[in-house]
Structure 1
Amino acid sequence: MTDTAPKTAEDLFRFLDSLNIPHSTKTHPPVFTVAESESLRDEIPGGHTKNLFIKDKKDRYFVLTVEENATVDLKTVHKVIGAAGRVSFGRPEKLMEYLGVIPGSVTIFGAFNDTGRHVTFVLDEDLMRHDIINGHPLSNDATTSIGRDDLIRFLEATGHTPLVLKVTD
């Protein structure tokens, strides 16, 4: 296996275009927390996401994508997602290796870099009530908006079948 550089936002946009998936992206100053990103709400409609990169005791990795203000109980979520025992946050090295992003930029779009399919993507049911879902396009200085059903199509096109589960309190 050769180490390849993580794909860029431009690569992601070309991939979405190749799937005929409409998307729009707004650049903004880097945001590292939900609180920092809330100033963008008026400019970007739809469901805004918080993404948790976690692993279980068997070193299986998951990205939980939930609505930005939702609460995930990390002590019990393993029962919902089928993880082996309690989960903990994945290490930054694995985040870069599997998703091609740094902490603060975890995103559902990281599936694009997970060509080895090391990560299971879990979309929260409440988030999926939105017609439009927003996520970082592999860096936290922009937000990409995509239709809910197109997000599923994108994930499947990357070789990931997402789980849509109720993972928030």
Structure 2
Amino acid sequence: MDKKESKVYEVLEKLAIPYEKYNHAPVATIAAIEELEMDLEVIHFKNLFLRNSKGDQHYLVLVDSSKKANTKAIAKQIGSTRLSFASDERLEKYLGLEPGAVSPMGLINDINKEVEVLIDQDLVSQEKVTLHPNVNTASITISYENLKKFLAWCGNKVQFVEIP
């Protein structure tokens, strides 16, 4: 098991957050995840790692996988300059992750709490969510309430946004 992945399970156990784990072939996109033959009755969500135009603010956006995130609309809602995808180098620097494994679990590595989390308001109504444990060869399912518990433990700023 990868060190990045084992760190996630250590934190989940520390927080008494139960999870279901699914090992699978490497997947880098929601489309690839949906092609896997896993019998999951929970929502997958997209994890987008964005930066503002100055490059001095970074955002992890959690959005329903069926939606297309409009970065202009998100920027307007949060009062930011133009948003764009952050580089692979920034992803590694701030969340300790590689492309294809972006997940809120990467916040474990954001020691300075520099990444702000933006959550699609529609995720609030979900009972459970499925996400990567910082590697793209596994997925874990946790309750949305426990995702909130994890985010609170991380201590990063969290904001809810409306993504049509």
State the Cα deviation string for residues 21-62 of structure 1 (Å, max 9, x = none). 111110100111211111247522211011111011232000
Match in the other structure for 1:3:
none
| CA displacement 1:58-101 (0-9 Å, x = unmatched) | 32000101111211112221011332x11011111110011111
The aligned amino acid for 2:126 is H
Normalised TM-score (structure 2): 0.92
- Runs of 4+ in structure 1 over 2 Å off: 39-42
Q: How many percent identity over aligned positions?
A: 31
Q: 1:41 to 1:120 in 2, by over 3 A?
A: farther
- Given the two structures, how large is their TM-score scaled by the length of structure 1? 0.89
- After superposition, residues 20-169 of structure 1 pair within 5 angstroms as 20-40=16-36, 42-58=38-54, 59-83=56-80, 85-166=81-162, 168-169=163-164
**Aligned residue pairs, count:** 162
Which structure is higher in helix share? 2
Aligned amino acid, residue 146 of structure 1: I
Checking the alignment, whether the CA contact within 8 Å between 2:74 and 2:161 is kept in structure 1 is no
Question: In 1, distance between residues paired with 2:14 and 2:60?
Answer: 24
Aligned-residue Cα RMSD (Å) equals 1.7
Gaps of 5+ in 2: none
